[in-house]
Copies of this chain bind each other. A is one copy, B any other.
Amino acid sequence: MDKVLGIDVGGTSIKVGLFTPDGELLEERKIPTPALVDDDAYAVVTSGITRVLAAHDAAPADVIACGLDIPGPVADDGTVGFLPNIQLDPEGLVGAITATFPRATVAFVNDANAAALGEVWGGAARGVQSFVLIALGTGVGGGVVTGGRLVAGAFGAGGEIGHITVERDEPLTCGCGRHGCLEQYASAKGVVRLYLEECERRGVTPVNVEHATDTLSVFKALANGDECAGIAVDKMCDYLALALSQISCVMDPELYLIGGGVAGAFATFAPRLRERFQELALPTCKDVRIEAAGLGNQAAMYGCAYEALRLRGEA
């Protein structure tokens, strides 16, 4: 029976999803790995996968497609760009995979782009032709789908929603070296920073924030009527709505999906986000749907598997 793999490539482990070609997730398993740059490391990956297959009475030759989602740019033609956060030799890993799974079509996909495709295959974007996923996590990523196809971009920057400029006067520098990127306000780190800044401005003691990305405490404070938390979340929604209004002037999608860790509080901030979007967007497209993503942190695993299947011509 044909099988499809979706592999989340992280810094210290990979997460393997074993799927049927119809998109049913049979098993998900984490495999701790060293840096993916030599044969020993590749063998850890391929033998780990082979064991997962065996547990489902499947052989390496049953794998027809294998997607890998990675935290870095992948261009329209599949070229992998610079990966600052992981050690990975893409060619070596592909070589090892095709040697072990000879029938498999292999595809690299940027992680946020993969998450968008995952929502198409098994999440909140099933049957949707054009939408944009915005993943509000440690950073802000995104994936753009139009005409049912991913827009990876000529330089792999398609869906880099987190780097839309929303505040030209921002004095702080973004990780990309520029100023006033959406990511500086709508990431988990951004929301926590906006909260602490507002508390400082007012001279009030903030609630206990566990770490730089602890948005849970900020949203809990908001639920308890903390005005500074209210201001922080309003600012986040304002900047996010502005970025969405810019995207609509470019691609005019039928749907926005909000994912990532911060989206755990989607029900709390969605009314404000939708209201601000209505105010800021071009009137023609102000009624676009803004919804929560459906697959959580499995989305990228689904999506890279789907893209490999699509490349093969079977999705």
- Most chain B beta carbons < 10 A, residue from A130, A154, A245: A154
For A76, the chain B residues whose CB sits under 8 A away are 129-130, 147
* Complex CA distance for A113 and B257, rounded to whole angstroms: 26
| B157 pairs with A282, CB closer than 8 A | yes
For A28, the chain B residues whose CB sits under 8 A away are none
A177 at the interface (CB under 8 A from B): yes
| A250 pairs with B251, CB closer than 8 A | yes
| B249 pairs with A157, CB closer than 8 A | yes
| B246 pairs with A157, CB closer than 8 A | no
| A154 pairs with B282, CB closer than 8 A | no
- What 0/1 pattern do residues 132 to 147 of A give for CB contact below 8 A with B? 1000000000001011
A105 at the interface (CB under 8 A from B): no
| B246 pairs with A282, CB closer than 8 A | no
Interface residues of A in 236-250 (CB under 8 A from B): 242, 245-250
A158 at the interface (CB under 8 A from B): yes
Q: A146-B146, A242-B165 are in contact. Are A153 and B252 (CB under 8 A)?
A: yes
| B151 pairs with A251, CB closer than 8 A | yes
| A154 pairs with B253, CB closer than 8 A | yes
Binds B, one of A189-197, A207-215, A283-291, A301-309: A283-291
- What 0/1 pattern do residues 56 to 96 of A give for CB contact below 8 A with B? 00000000000000000100100001000000000000000
User: CB within 8 Å of B: which residues of A?
Assistant: 73, 76, 81, 129-130, 132, 144, 146-147, 149, 151-161, 163-165, 168, 176-178, 242, 245-254, 280, 282-285, 287-288
Q: What are 24 A-B pairs with beta-carbon distances under 8 A?
A: A146-B146, A147-B149, A147-B151, A153-B251, A153-B252, A154-B253, A154-B254, A155-B287, A155-B288, A156-B252, A156-B284, A158-B250, A159-B250, A160-B249, A161-B250, A163-B249, A164-B250, A165-B245, A165-B280, A176-B282, A177-B283, A246-B246, A247-B250, A250-B251
